[in-house]
Amino acid sequence: MRFQYVLSEIATGLRRNLTMTIAVVITVSISIALFGTGLLIRAQSEATKGYWYDKVEISVFMCNAYSVAENCAGGEVSDNERETILQTLEGHPEVAEVFYESQQEAYDRFTEPLDDPVAEVITPDQLQEAFRVALVDPDQYDGVVSAVAGLPGVQNVHDQREVLGPLFRLLDWFQVGAIVIAVIQVVAATLLIANTIRLAAFSRRRETGIMRLVGASNFYIQLPFILEAAIAGLIGSILGCAAVFALQEVAVSRLLAPNFTFTAWVSQGDVWMMVPWLLLTGVLISAFASFITLRRYLRV
């Protein structure tokens, strides 16, 4: 095979079919940009989920003088009961760390964000002291809850997953939706590129017919078309990656992250990790669409 001849055919094809080449570049760039956006949404869901997973903890609220729970028949939690609860938590294999919060600390935390007359009638003794429990694995919380829920002096055990559970489920749906969007974009790009390559092959049907008559192999005839599509796909992929970078910089870094600090946000590093896959996807779908189209419409 004359490699120089193949390169000249690629250059000629790109020049003669400039409109087709631009169409492939635009199609791939838009598809890769949308594909990358889907991956970016998935990465953001993972970042948010990971951030809040680290915040998940169990709160063990102890009895105070006003408690009427079954475990609080003896009134306010005693020193021995408090020590028993603490030892049970610290000895549990699913517990990473235990933090004690007194009634005064609970009162300060409760009234700090309030600018309301209600805060003035609340006193520290009306609130419960508690143990804040950080878990080794936030998914494994049932054992800790069952270990302390029935102990004397424990009014109730609150698991933050009850609050964050809907958020986690919503993020799971976002991830599934992002993957579905990404797959749809890849399929749509493949079909659009295939149609564009078919038009390019039809406009050069005379040259391919002559090559067949002189005994050129099927692969030799198809190779210039495939490489043209791959080059156009690479250019389109680079433009699509640039669009994803712009989206992250403008929408996330400059708009969302400074104004919404309650969670983690995707960074430029996350986008750089996607770039090889986006470039490879653009080149492969272009080459694949070209190969399938040529086998069908050139009848080689």
For 80-131, how does the pLDDT look when each residue is reduced to its tens digit (9 = 90+)? 888 888 888 888 888 888 888 888 888 777 776 555 555 566 777 788 888 8
d(CA 71, CA 76): 10
**Same domain, yes or no: 205 and 235:** yes
Rounded average pLDDT over 279-290: 87
Ramachandran assignment for 231, one of left (phi > 0), alpha (psi -120 to 50 degrees), beta (any other): alpha
Q: Looking at 114, 137, 159, which one is the last position of a domain?
A: 159
Last residue of a domain, one of 114, 135, 159: 159
Residues 204 and 228 in one domain: yes
Residues 155 and 287 in one domain: no
Residue 192 has a pLDDT of: 79
Work out the pLDDT band at 300, boundaries 50, 70, 90: very low
Pick from 289, 282, 295: nearest CA to 222: 295
The residue that leads in pLDDT, 55 or 135, is 135
Mean pLDDT of 69-73: 79
Q: Are residues 103 and 123 in the same domain?
A: yes
Point out the least confidently predicted range of 10-14, 68-72, 271-275: 10-14
Distances (CA, A) of 93 to 70, 88, 101, 141, 148: 27, 10, 22, 11, 13
Same-domain check for residues 175 and 38: yes
Do 231 and 145 reside in the same domain of the chain?
no
Q: Do 251 and 217 share a structural domain?
A: yes
Same domain, yes or no, for 196 and 237? yes
Dig out the tokens for 161 from the structure.
């997953």
Q: What is the tens place of the pLDDT at every residue in 132-168?
A: 888 887 767 778 888 888 888 888 888 776 666 677 7
**Partners of 99 in beta bridges:** 132
Q: What is the pLDDT of residue 13?
A: 61
Supply the pTM of this predicted model.
0.68
Task: Specify the number of domains making up the chain.
Answer: 2
- Terminal CA-CA length for the chain: 17
CATH number at residue 80: 3.30.70.3040
Instruction: Verify that 88 and 126 share a domain, yes or no.
Output: yes
Last residue of a domain, one of 110, 133, 159: 159
pLDDT, residue 250, reads 92
CA dist 137 → 57, 134, 170, 173 (Å): 10, 9, 20, 22
Within this chain, do residues 264 and 229 fall inside the same structural domain, yes or no?
yes
Which domain does 178 fall in, by range? Answer: 3-52+165-298
Please, what is the average pLDDT of the chain? 79
Answer yes or no: do 41 and 172 share one domain.
yes
Same structural domain, 189 and 293: yes
